[in-house]
Structure 1
Amino acid sequence: MSFLTTDLCDANEGRVRVVEPMFQCYGNHARFAGQIVTLKLFEDNTLVRETLAQDGHGKVLVVDGGGSLRCALLGDQIGELAVANHWEGVVIYGCIRDSVALNQLPLGIRALNTHPLKSVKRGEGQRDLPVTFGGVTFTPGDWLYADEDGVIVAAEALL
């Protein structure tokens, strides 16, 4: 992808929301963009797997994991599933694991940190609702742009 969040912010002043700088960069694509799909869950990645098993062309999954640093919500197997289903990227307000393997995948990933412990599997959580973290509300259908300088969100496509 050929865009810079800095240029998008300059050209769309007042039309973009900038996420607070809190994320680490993982995956082999530092730059990614797409239409937002949301999940809200806590220490249970069942919906993450189910969602990334669906077609992700042109989409970015935004996971509000409550900021938990007690387990991982994404690992290499689910990351491979995301790639197989053509997701552009995943933003997790929580942790990932298998970072070495994830860094080899053609996928953009942002997460708070890494954690070796897997999550529980209770099937709990919600999909397709506005979620808020990092000073920004992520609404399903809005657009997310991420690069080396940060993550921004807009109500409409900027490219």
Structure 2
Amino acid sequence: MHFATTDICDDNAALLEDGTLAVLPPVFLHYGQHKKFSGRASTLKVFEDNALVRSVLETPGNGNVLVIDGGGSMRRALVGGQLGLLAQNNGWAGIVVYGCIRDCDEINACAVGVRALGAHPQKSAKQGVGERDVRVLIAGVPVAAGDWIYADADGVLVAKKQLV
């Protein structure tokens, strides 16, 4: 995987201007073994409930990135160690959580990239409420299923088309 988000931004200034390429605000912390990851976005919109997160991560990831709009909630974790293992074992490139995770040591042992707002020890509800493959807002940036996600130590990008 040979890319740098800084180079993508420098090489695509016009796309940044027209909104075809966007940078997520620098509010995400890094977890997992992969600091750099990229792939097509699969999206989820949930709030303090991770039943759908589990069901999606139980399917083959095919190198995709699961983008979870958790509404920015800092009250419960949407991804824990078991889900980190599912992501790793089912071929997901990464997970971007607009919300919290837990079991940080377990997630940090997984061969996957994870970005989240922070860690919270309380587990989520398991009602199965939410929507899959819908347009979501991650820290104010729209992400649609099929968009491309590029993440490294400098940040997370959302592109309407594959750039690398």
**Into which bin does the TM-score normalised by the smaller protein fall?**
over 0.9
Structure 1 distance, partners of 2:137, 2:106, is 29
Shift of residue 93 of structure 1?
0.4
Instruction: Work out whether residues 72 and 139 of structure 2, in 8 Å CA contact, stay in contact via their aligned partners in 1.
Output: no
The letter of the residue matching 1:77 is Q
* 2:45 is the counterpart of 1:40: yes
| 2:156 aligned residue (146, 151, 159) | 151
Question: Residue in 2 aligned with 1:8?
Answer: 8
For residues 38-64 of structure 1, what are the alpha-carbon distances to aligned partners after superposition, in whole Å with 9 as ceiling and x for unaligned?
Answer: 000100000000001111012000000
Give the one of 20, 26, 29 matched to 2:31.
26
Q: 1-side partners of 2:131 and 2:146: how far apart?
A: 16
- Letter of the aligned partner of 1:10 in structure 2? D
User: 2:116 maps to what in 1?
Assistant: 111
Q: Aligned residue for 1:64? A: 69
Gaps of 5+ in 2: 16-20
Alignment pair present for 1:134 and 2:132: no
- Which one is further off, 129-138 or 144-153? 129-138
Q: How many pairs does the alignment contain?
A: 159
* Distance in 1 separating the partners of 2:59 and 2:13: 34
Q: CA deviation at 1:14?
A: 2.7
Query: How high is the sequence identity, in percent, across the aligned residues?
Result: 53
In structure 1, the gaps of 5 or more residues are: none
Indicate the SS of the match to 2:13.
Answer: coil
| Amino acid in structure 2 at the alignment position of 1:148 | A
Structure 1 stretches of 4+ moved >6 Å? none
Q: Tell me the TM-score normalized by structure 1.
A: 0.98
Cα offsets for 1:117-156 (capped at 9, x unmatched):
1101001000011001223100110100000000001111
| Whole-angstrom CA distance in 1 between matches of 2:128 and 2:138 | 22
1:14 counterpart SS class: helix
Hey, what's the Cα distance between the residues in 2 that align with 1:81 and 1:121?
Answer: 17
Task: Note if contact 2:59-2:90 (Cα within 8 Å) is conserved in structure 1.
Answer: yes
Matches of 1:93 and 1:26, distance apart in 2? 13
Which residue identity lines up with residue 54 of structure 1 in the other structure? Answer: T
State how far apart, in whole Å, the 2-side matches of 1:54 and 1:101 are: 20
Whole-angstrom CA distance in 2 between matches of 1:14 and 1:45? 37
